[in-house]
Amino acid sequence: MLPENLTQALNNQFNNELQAAHAYKAMAAYFSERGYHGFANFFLVQSQEEHEHAMKFYDFLVTMSEKPEMHALNEPKNTFVSAMEVMESALGQERNVTKRIYELVSLADETHEHATLSFLDWFIEEQMEEEKTFRDIIARLKGITEGGEYFLKMDDEFATRKLD
């Protein structure tokens, strides 16, 4: 069994990952509404990834003889004015997840919970990759027009994205 405060924090992150999946579906809807199905696909795959991350927390809690607890999801932001705003929101969301993972690492370290530290190593690497992905997309979007030729090329590129 884990310390109670660590179990609670892990459950909170389980639910944060589900919330992130929910938010990414709302971001996909922005692009679907505009006919940019490649960008929509990118965010639907991103949502699936976040759900998988949530299930890693679920499985870890079960493995550690703890009960995963479902919390209510909040309504995500549903209104965006541009693709850039969507991407910046996604980057902000990933930075928030990174912060929460670091807080979990600190708590696991304080409580000398080595199994949790080992479990969280994967998430540290994953968050570095997630933030880089959105920083790179934002860099590519700067200076181009939404709906322009290069934007449509990106849309085609994102249409091929699949869950790994």
Whether 53 has a binding-site annotation, put simply, is yes
Segment 127-134 mean pLDDT: 97
Per-residue confidence (pLDDT) for residue 129, from 0 to 100? 97
For residue 117, is it within any domain?
yes
For residue 164, is it within any domain?
no
The residue behind tokens 């200076």 is 143
Helices (H), the chain: 4-33, 37-63, 83-110, 114-141, 149-159
Per-residue confidence (pLDDT) for residue 50, from 0 to 100? 98
Residue 121 contacts by C-beta under 8 Å, 6 or more apart in sequence?
A: none
Whether 149 has a binding-site annotation, put simply, is no
Per-residue confidence (pLDDT) for residue 164, from 0 to 100? 74
pLDDT at 126 exceeding the cut of 80: yes
pLDDT at 104 exceeding the cut of 80: yes
Range of the domain at 20: 4-159
Whether 71 has a binding-site annotation, put simply, is no
For residue 151, is it within any domain?
yes
Segment 97-105 mean pLDDT: 98
Whether 110 has a binding-site annotation, put simply, is no
Per-residue confidence (pLDDT) for residue 121, from 0 to 100? 98
Segment 138-160 mean pLDDT: 96
Q: Is there a contact between 14 and 104 (Cβ–Cβ < 8 Å)?
A: no
pLDDT at 156 exceeding the cut of 90: yes
Smallest CA-to-CA distance from 10 within 75, 95, 105 is with 105
* Cα(158)–Cα(164) distance, integer angstroms: 14
CATH code assigned at 155: 1.20.1260.10
Whether 112 has a binding-site annotation, put simply, is no
Where does the pLDDT of residue 163 fall: very low under 50, low under 70, confident under 90, or very high at 90 and above?
Answer: confident
Specify the number of domains making up the chain.
1
Q: Is there a contact between 88 and 55 (Cβ–Cβ < 8 Å)?
A: no
